[in-house]
Homo-oligomer: A and B are copies of this chain.
Amino acid sequence: MKHNEFSLKDAVAILERTPASLSALLKGLPETLTRATEGDATWSPYDVIGHLIHGELTDWIPRARHIMSGETQPFEAFDRTAQFTQSQGQSLAELLKTFAELRRENVAALLAMNLTDDDLGRGGVHPELGAVTLGQLLATWVVHDLDHVTQVARTMAKVYTDAVGPWSAYLSILRDRTQA
């Protein structure tokens, strides 16, 4: 089942739930789980929360405002590894709190834009992808959240790759996005 029509209300319903979902998944777990990765050059749950914070600061709402301003220059490129310097010294609990605060502010900012269906069709220019719309940007924000929720759960699951023994055959998650 796919939406042909993007529902801003449904998108906001997911966006406002993500901090609580990630806190419920992660808060209080030991670092054997929250600092685990899927292998070289993959991210731990801790890294993911830092990445989501950077998105709140520099990506979604700034780009939505860029489109609404009628600006024809491409968006600024998003830094996908900023969290490796920006999260330094912070606990996971602190990052989860910061993410929740920023997301609350950004959902409020989104709602305050009072976007119409016509607005969702307004265009911007992505530095790599070219022509995009505001509606596509907001749908991407939602899917990006859900992608990182799955990443966090998958990364913790893979900690148990050996521990499950023969049951591995039934647990596809242990092979999802596995590097060759």
Write the residues of chain A forming the contact surface with B, with a CB cutoff of 8 angstroms: 1-4, 6-7, 10, 13-14, 17, 20-21, 23-25, 28-30, 32-33, 35-37, 126, 129-133, 135-137, 139-140, 142-144, 146-147, 149-150, 153-154, 156-167, 169-174, 176-177
User: A136 to B164, Cβ gap below 8 A?
Assistant: yes
The count of identical subunits is 2
User: A32 to B7, Cβ gap below 8 A?
Assistant: yes
| Cross-interface CB contact of A3 among B21, B23, B126, B159, cutoff 8 Å | B159
Residue of B nearest to A120 (CB): B163
10 contacts between A and B (CB under 8 A): A2-B159, A4-B162, A25-B149, A131-B166, A132-B167, A133-B165, A140-B167, A140-B171, A143-B171, A150-B154
Lowest 4 A-B CB distances belong to which pairs?
A139-B163, A136-B165, A146-B157, A147-B173
The SS class assigned to the A binding surface is helix
Residue of B nearest to A163 (CB): B139
Extra contacts besides A136-B163, A140-B167 (13): CB < 8 Å? A2-B158, A6-B160, A13-B29, A17-B24, A17-B25, A21-B24, A135-B163, A136-B166, A142-B157, A143-B171, A146-B157, A147-B153, A150-B150
| Cross-interface CB contact of A160 among B3, B33, B130, B158, cutoff 8 Å | B3
Chain B residue numbers with a CB within 8 Å of A161 are 2
The answer for the CA separation of A176 and B161 in the assembled complex, in Å, is: 19
